[in-house]
Structure 1
Amino acid sequence: MADTPHSPDAESSLIAGESLMPEDCAPDRAAPLAESVACLWEEGERVFRVGVVGTGPGFMALLDLAFNPRFHDFLPPVEVVGVARPGVNPAKLDYARSKGVPVYADLETLHREHPELNMLVDLTGERAALRQARSLLGEEVSLVDQDAAIFICGMHDMAKANTSSQDDLDRQRHLLQAIVDEIREDVMLLDLEGRVVDMNRNVWRRTGHTKEQLLGKHCWEVLTKRDGKPFCVRYDPACPLRRSIETRTKDEALFTRVSAGGRLLYYRIYSYPIFNRAGALSHVMMMHRDITARTHREQSLQQTEKLALIGEMSTYLAHEIRNPLCAIGGFTHALLRSPNLSEKELEKVRIIAEETQRLDQMLSNILNFSKPGKPPQGEVDMVELVSGTVELMKVGYESVGYEFVFEAESELPRVRGDAESIKQCLVNMIKNSLEAMSGGGRIRVCLTREFDFVRLGVEDNGAGMSEAEQDKAFSPFYTTKAGGTGLGLPMIKKLVEEMGGHIDLRSSPGSGTGIYLYFRPVLAGVPLKDGRTPH
């Protein structure tokens, strides 16, 4: 993660009452924290213009400190204005000249050419040279002899070690950032007010903004769904962030959202508290995971298991209930033919007969639903089948306020399936749309190619479905209709999947519903040796 103004380490030191600076530089407790840095360089604006006498030990370290930009953050501004009494070391002198440092034969010339000199470093080791320098330069120029110059080497070595450590830290930080950026989930580091301190690449790329533009905003202003739309419009009390702050423990929660296209999305959000060295909660890391595909797989597996159980139950029910049901139906029809019953008694017997028939039909539906189907072998012309079915539905419903629109792409391939099963699915889908628009409305039936599938869609402008209704739409026996069996959509799903396709539902309250069936096209045969291709 990138550095932040209030890192956990710095915060923990302040909370624990520890200073991040040596004791001799520690500010007065009554002074503002910002003034504490002034103790490092009390004359921070001063430029040290340094002359060097001799090229003994420490010469190269001094030049490196002055000219290597890696060390500029650790020292005040230093300029080496010239070198006097250079001796015989061509390599050192060539390096000095390459940095633009002039070389003079003696100290007098150096002083005359550079009256701005305010520090002299003597690397000759001669006491007489120091006395000469003091008498020549006066008290306004600081002198550093060869013994004291050892501190220059020490500073140089410490600065090298520091920059090396900083380089290592930067490499580790970049490596960690690269790893976090490759995580597929959204990862955010938040402060205790829910503001974003850092985030991985997934988060900011989806928003269309840069990372810098989003830092400091609240998480609910940054987090988005897979389509880039806001995940939250305000702080959600059910969010794990709040519970992690209150309980100081990790937390998680499941959320459902509807995409811009009306698809139901599933997300799981995890929150992990982060503590500083003093044990105080300082940040919360949040992970935002899109589990839509996984949830659909789990639901499909659960439905398969449920269907297997229904199959076992239906076999038992067919045996245990149908036999007495047939007896009830037989006696009821016999009573209906009896001349000894009054009209009121006949009406009651008719009701018994109708309910017996309804129970028998319900048992048949359950048996058909649970019975495994055979893989379809036929080829279906979808345009012909769908257009004919829509025309048939128009006859019965256009006169009572329903408008039908049929659209089909050109050159659609045939699909592998059973024509009667597909027609049954389409009729049930249209009936669902009719029931969703009790006062009339528009139903659009469309045939398109979607990647490797032929897609049949039925769209209405009815009331739409809530997230909870979408979540249970394909569950057997779940229904919102009075007298419904809850097997309509599950049966459609079963038939389509048996034909090698799949089903998709898109809906949102007030915006209508679209149900889309995907069928596999019939593949062309392998070309024959004479170049012909079998149909």
Structure 2
Amino acid sequence: MVSSQVVDGKRYSIGVIGDLPALMAFWETFRDQANDAVLGEIGIVAAAFPGQGALPGLYQPVGSIRTYTNYQEMLEKHPEINLVIEATGRPSFVAELRATLPSHITLVEQTAANFFIKLLTQDKMWVACKLDLLHTQSMLKTIIDQMDEEILFLDLDGRVLDSNQKARDRADMPSRKIIGRDLHAIFTGMHAMGNEEHDCPFQQTLHTDERGEALASYVGEDGRVQYYRIYTYPIHDEAGNLCNVVAMRRNITRRMEMEQRLQQSEKLASIGELSTYIAHEIRNPLFTISGFANSLVRNKSVDDKVREKLNIILEESRRLDIILKSIINFTRPTEAEITMVDINELVTSTMEVMGLGLSQQHIELVRELEAGMAMVKANPEVIKQCLINLVKNAIEAMPEGGVLTIATGMNRDYATLTVEDTGVGIEPEVREKIFSPFFSTKGKGSGLGLAMTRKIMDEIGGEVDLTSSVGKGTRITLLLPPILAVAESPAPE
């Protein structure tokens, strides 16, 4: 008696019994649905049915399956058979097989055979579904990793469950380290725009079950401010309950700069219209007031107390006139002649005058002038005025003394003029307003110095770069267009 064992690498050696039509239907089902995993486990070695010859269309080579006219002969010739499939489905024949088959041979009836074949072939469907799922997962991961926004998948405690590549890169952490960390440890500065709990977008989403949003800022080690818009989105389970939160952070620094410049342009347009009105409607009465005040001051019949009050009127009139001139000059385009400017020479001559008295204020002046500087296309007096404004601001930022550094240099596109101090620095919430007209933190002056500097840089095709750290100091760099080594176009006749 042959026991159940693997024969020729097959776990099941099968003999099939049935008439030709039933066997052909079985072969078609087996051939179409069986996959490599199934065929690796079973092998059909013989068939018993009325007639002779090999069955056509089998998955094995023609002639490899022996056929017999009765199942007794098939079992006698093939003692390795340990499983018989009855393909006719006739009850009387099934009863006969049950009564005569040896105990080591398993009988599988037609309906059961079809069921198990289909069950085994679910592996093919599972593999297809798995491949499709892996493809979809890979495509989704690729898309999310290519996004410029940082994306975190969170639990309801704000712990990171997963992240995209941008979030890992900007946090400088591998996936295994970022998982499990608190949201605020990755998205720093989320409470920068307020201290209340509802200012945090994650808390907004937890409390409202809706999208949360907040604006945050971050000051880097180089003193530059980065602005971020942070969004949080609720994720629900099949029952509609909040189960997770997706947080996304987008860098909007460039957009903020464009918005600020647009706002400044709108302000300048409004100031331009206002300055015309001021010139005609305010300066004329102001001249009249100051004229009569001057006349009264010279009058010998006026006593000292009245003369003192008249002098205050004159002083305030002069101050108001200076402010009006600043406003009118600010709104006018720069009409100074553009020439070639030697920045190093301009810095040297300007600081020879402004440097006087710095030692009494406990300020050390450092000049770092790069040799071989390119000539700059600008008006020397205008650039000198910009330098004076920056130096004055730097000195005022160091009431207890410090180091004032004036440096020149070159980068890829511009010649640079840098004024750096070691003063109090600029608060992040003030930086976005620092170049706005009439904004001042000193409580005096017109607040047009830095606004005028940026306006001049824009007009000559340059830029202004600001970096600052609170308590460490501020660095402002003027990026000036150099003179290019190209022939000038002849003037049209």
Q: Could you say which residue in structure 2 is the equivalent of 1:420?
A: 381
Q: Could you say which residue in structure 2 is the equivalent of 1:120?
A: 83
Q: Could you say which residue in structure 2 is the equivalent of 1:510?
A: 471
Q: Could you say which residue in structure 2 is the equivalent of 1:432?
A: 393
Letter in 1 for 2:126: N
Q: Could you say which residue in structure 1 is the equivalent of 2:331?
A: 370
Letter in 2 for 1:135: P
- Percentage of identical aligned residues: 37
> Is the radius of gyration larger for structure 1 or structure 2?
2
1:144 correspondence with 2:108: yes
Structure 1: state its 5+ residue gaps.
1-47, 69-78, 98-104, 224-229, 529-535
Q: Distance in 2 between matches of 1:365 and 1:510?
A: 31
Out of 491, 511, 525, which is 2:452 matched to?
491
Q: Distance in 2 between matches of 1:375 and 1:132?
A: 117
Write out aligned runs for 1:146-185 (5 A).
Answer: 146-185=110-149
| CA-CA distance at 1:109 after TM superposition | 8.8
Q: Could you say which residue in structure 1 is the equivalent of 2:438?
A: 477
| CA-CA distance at 1:80 after TM superposition | 2.6
Write out aligned runs for 1:6-25 (5 A).
Answer: none
Structure 2: state its 5+ residue gaps.
1-9, 17-22, 48-52, 65-72
Q: Distance in 1 between matches of 2:180 and 2:245?
A: 14
Letter in 2 for 1:431: K
With over 3 angstroms needed to count, the CA separation of the structure-2 counterparts of 1:250 and 1:400, relative to structure 1, is closer
Write out aligned runs for 1:13-162 (5 A).
Answer: 49-54=11-16, 57=27, 60=31, 64=35, 66=37, 80=41, 84-85=45-46, 88=54, 92-93=59-60, 120=83, 122=85, 134-137=101-104, 142-162=106-126
Letter in 2 for 1:122: I
**Aligned with 1:137: secondary structure?**
coil
With over 3 angstroms needed to count, the CA separation of the structure-2 counterparts of 1:85 and 1:207, relative to structure 1, is same
1:323 correspondence with 2:289: no
**Aligned with 1:456: secondary structure?**
strand
Stretch moving more, 493-502 or 388-397:
388-397
Cα RMSD over matched residues?
Answer: 3.3
**Aligned with 1:395: secondary structure?**
coil
Letter in 2 for 1:475: S
Q: Distance in 2 between matches of 1:328 and 1:499?
A: 39
Q: Could you say which residue in structure 2 is the equivalent of 1:311?
A: 272
| CA-CA distance at 1:523 after TM superposition | 1.0
Out of 155, 163, 170, which is 1:206 matched to?
170
Out of 420, 423, 428, which is 1:462 matched to?
423
Letter in 2 for 1:394: G
Residues 378-418 of structure 1, C-alpha deviations (whole Å, 9 max, x = no match)? 11111111122223222231343111111133322111111
- Does the 8 Å CA contact 1:52/1:123 hold for their aligned counterparts? no
**Aligned with 1:481: secondary structure?**
coil
Q: Could you say which residue in structure 2 is the equivalent of 1:15?
A: none
Q: Distance in 2 between matches of 1:419 and 1:337?
A: 42
Q: Distance in 2 between matches of 1:270 and 1:507?
A: 28
1:256 correspondence with 2:217: yes
Q: Could you say which residue in structure 1 is the equivalent of 2:181?
A: 217
Aligned residues: 449
TM-score of the superposed pair, with normalisation by structure 2? 0.81
Q: Distance in 1 between matches of 2:161 and 2:100?
A: 56
Q: Distance in 2 between matches of 1:416 and 1:130?
A: 106
Q: Distance in 2 between matches of 1:166 and 1:526?
A: 67
